[in-house]
Structure 1
Amino acid sequence: MGVIGLGMGRGHARGYHSHPQADLVAICDMDVGRLQEVQSELDVPRIYTDAEKMFCAEELDGVSIAVPNKYHAPLTIAALKHGLHVLCEKPMAMTVKEAERMNAAATKASRSLMINFSFRFTEAAYALKQQVDAGVVGDIYFGRSVWHRRRGIPRFGGWFGIKELSGGGALIDLGVHRLDLALWLMGYPEPVTVTGSTYDRIAQPLAKKERKQFDVEDLACGLVKFANGATLILEAS
């Protein structure tokens, strides 16, 4: 396995390193200091600052991609073209068109593409899904899924708050986890209408005060109505 991006990707690397059925052989990041630090910690054989060079030089089975959201699609598609299975950090992409291109590349390459919606794999989520599938909770006709991050804005002043790199704020960072869980538990009903609002009234004054770039929302809310009559309310901040 290989890992590209050693911010969130450091957790991926540690997971592969500790798993008895995985062999972490290469890591890639533009920060040489970070590369050397992780290489030393996990005893990784080889390091790269160029993903394409890693794809060409290594005989990888799969790769984790954990870079700023802007680069999810191009790196995923490149990895798939090299015949690799891909675990990509959420959100999948910046746009629907990018996501469709990623899916098409995976289909063409006959390789697996998985997005890291990790909350599906918690014990609580797994137990609830079993109860839903067994019919214990009955027909789910209304859902409210919320994530209020009380620790503040992650890496304030970094790429999370720059729309060109992230694609959005709280909704694309936190809300996607809650939306994924809700749709999974509800059985993926067909959406009919979606309405929503976004705000930046807390982060913008703080960004100006601290002279940091921040051009995404710090609060998002939405209402989804489905063809089966169900309704979902989503909040992320």
Structure 2
Amino acid sequence: MTTIADRLSIAQSRINQAAQKCARNPNEVKLLAVSKTKPANDIIEAYLAGQRLFGENYVQEGEQKILQLGEEFNDIEWHFIGPLQSNKTKVVAEHFDWMHTLSREKVAKRLNDQRPPHLPPLQVCIQVNISNEQSKSGVDEQEVFKLAQQISQMPKLKLRGLMAIPTATDDINLQQDEFSRLNTLYQTLKQQFDTVDTLSMGMSGDLDIAITNGSTMVRVGSAIFGSRT
């Protein structure tokens, strides 16, 4: 039976191969291990195998793990990658290093106001609804730059880039279209804001095509930690 360390190695190899295939430096693509619903012991096992970036989808679960592990494993970089209601922003502002799913000015203001002064700015990505699905969070493509400008005025937030969850499909052409459009948005945003360096897109099933289209961070969960209960 494969271990978490084995599966981390396999995921990293996939990233390296995908990057090399499109003539990119594999070091340009970071692996975010999505540890939602998994116990702290699994995170420790991944940590001992060298992993430092972990993504959590649920506010309270993420807070509990950070409080449990934060002192001993203080070089973990915690990423919040789930939907965030405005009444739960305080936990993210106080405990996480990154927030990937920012799509409203109201939430941005709350995160900025609630970020403790002793912490560095919260690193944020704007979530784009690149598939235009009503069931998904995120801003429309044309709203990205307005929200980016608003975030840039908030001193306790640092705009790092874009994040998206494309259509769940086996249609390669549709995947290619959505990833390509997101990369175009990202490249334009980079030209306007010098803090932008992150394109968070691609998961276990589509990380290869995401990397081909410029992803700098892929989010991998079950392929590392096993299926979720």
Q: TM-score range by the shorter chain?
A: 0.3 to 0.5
**Greater Cα radius of gyration, structure 1 or 2:** 1
More strand by proportion, 1 or 2? Answer: 1
Larger relative contact order, structure 1 or 2 (CA cutoff 8 Å, min sep 6): 2
Tell me the TM-score normalized by structure 2.
0.34
Tell me the TM-score normalized by structure 1.
0.33
